[in-house]
Each structure stands twice: as C-alpha cells, then as structure tokens.
Amino acid sequence: MSPTTELRVERVKGAVNAAPVLGEAEFREFQAMIFAVAGIHMPASKRTMVAGRLSKRLKALELGSYAAYWRYLKANAAEKQTAVDLLTTNETYFFREPRHFEFLRDRILAERRRQGRFRLWSAACSSGEEAYTAAMVLADTLGASGWEVLASDISTQVLEKARAGRYPLARTDRIPPECLKRHCLKGIGEAAGTLMVDPVLRSRVEFRQINLNTRLPDVGEFDVIFLRNVMIYFNTETKQQIVARLQACLRPGGYLLIGHSETLNGFQNGLEAVAPSIYRKRK
C-alpha cells in the first residue's frame, strides 16, 4: 500500500470516528437538567463547554452521541450526579479574595462578644481551599477549640478531593509562610510536589453534600456564611431563594460574604451592607 493510500485510509477513518456534536436540542435538555437540579443557568455561550465536559462520559460509556448519553442519564439516577459534577464550575484557591479573611480576623473575630462555639459555613466549598483557609484563620485567632467549620457543595467529586486535603504545591503559593508551616505538611517520596492540610485542622472541617437550590437540611445557625462566586450562575429568582435560605441559617448579627463581583442589591431584606460584598443580618 502506498503512503498516499495509507493517508487516505486514515482520513476516512477519522471522518467516521469524528467527535459527536452537541446539537441545540440536546443542549437544551442538559441546560434544563442542570437548572432543575442546581438552579444554574447555562446560556447558549456555554454550549461548547458543556460538550467538552460531557464528552468524557460519552467516551467512558462508549456512546456515539449526546442524545444517547441523555437517554442513558434519564435511565440512571447515579449518572445524573456524575453529569452535575462535570458541569458545575469549581475554580478556587487558598486565600482567594484575601480581604474577606482579613475582615473575618480583624473585624468579626476581634469584635466577637457572643460566648459559645463560633460556627462558619463555606456553602459552595468546591475542592475545599476556602473552608481550609477559614479554618486556618479561626485556629490562629481562636485557638484549637471553640469553633467549627461546615463545608458543602453539590458536587460529590470535588467533596472527595476536599476531604483528602491534598493539593499540588503550585496551588498553595498564596498561603502566608507562617500559616503554611503551622497548618500544612509537605509531601515526600511518592507524594513529592504535593501538600496536605494537617490532619488536626482537617478534622475540624465537616464536608457535606448540600444542594442550595432545594430545602436545606437542619444545619443549625452560623456566625458567618461564605457564599462566594456562585450566584453569578443563578437567575434573579434563584438568587433570592438561595439567599433567603442561607439568611435563615445566620444568627442575628451574623455575616454573609459573597464574591467581589456579586451583589445582593434588590433582595437583601433583613441584611445590611457593611462593606463591599459583606452583609450582616439585622439583630
């Protein structure tokens, strides 16, 4: 067989095995599913992103089209959670938006008057960096006891990573050096190039799967709730519902912190703005 013939065969083979295309009708199905489950709005501009993330499952399940994957997903409840894991965005890092952690340390904790256990909720914790950052601040300010952190996310996949508390060293460059020494362990041998949050600190953070778009489980009341960089994916009605649910979980005088690019303008009844992206529940 000549080189030209071989090249022609490869081209034909490539055409036959071309990557499946996510059509508009199938995209609307997945768009409606993620909105119904998580309240997340996926605009038309996210179609390529949705196709890219779900293509992993098509390949794993040896399915030839997104329509076939949609049929499979409808018939398998566990697969719906897998799809949600793939479609939810999970970008985070330690000490992200550091002014919030400075406010926690220098204002909230410094002015604390209430006796009893201090409770903080990282309500969209992703792979855990936000929750562990808060735990570091609480440990350094309040000591080894008298506080607790609840961390939740809708994605079971990122929660597994969060519970492990192991991260690439490159992801930890924002942790202050002294804090790094106190609360983190550097991997050696096969674990070289990674960092693990100290087991003592990890034990103070409880990770739970919680869907903010549905009725919340009984989690009690909190002094501080972080809900950062997640509301940009919700429409106005969903934002109102989620904020109302979380506000009910705040103690009077408790704080709700959102992302710097987000706002509660128009639906912060019962909350007063004390700084950009920081709100307090009226007493």
Least confident of 83-92, 124-133, 253-262: 83-92
Query: What residues are annotated to the active site?
Result: 53, 153
Q: What is the pLDDT of residues 140-171, one digit of tens each?
A: 999 999 999 999 999 999 999 999 999 999 88
Top-confidence range, 1-5, 59-63, 184-188, 201-205? 201-205
Going by their DSSP bridges, the two strands 271-275 and 205-209 should be labelled as unpaired
Residues 260 and 276 sit within 8 Å (Cβ to Cβ): yes
Residues, the chain: 283
Q: Is the pLDDT of residue 128 over 70?
A: yes
Measured between alpha carbons, how far is residue 98 from residues 67, 137, 264 in Å?
A: 44, 11, 20
CA distance 153 to 179: 25
CA distance 94 to 192: 19
| Nearest Cα residue to 114 out of 226, 251, 218, 246 | 251
Q: What is the pLDDT of residues 241-251, one digit of tens each?
A: 999 999 999 99
Question: Whole-model pTM?
Answer: 0.84
Q: Is the pLDDT of residue 195 over 90?
A: yes
Provide the mean pLDDT of the chain: 89
What does the pLDDT read at residue 52? 93
13 pLDDT tier (thresholds 50, 70, 90) = very low
Q: What is the pLDDT of residues 169-185, one digit of tens each?
A: 988 889 999 999 999 99
What's the sign of the alpha-carbon dihedral 229, 133, 206, 279? negative
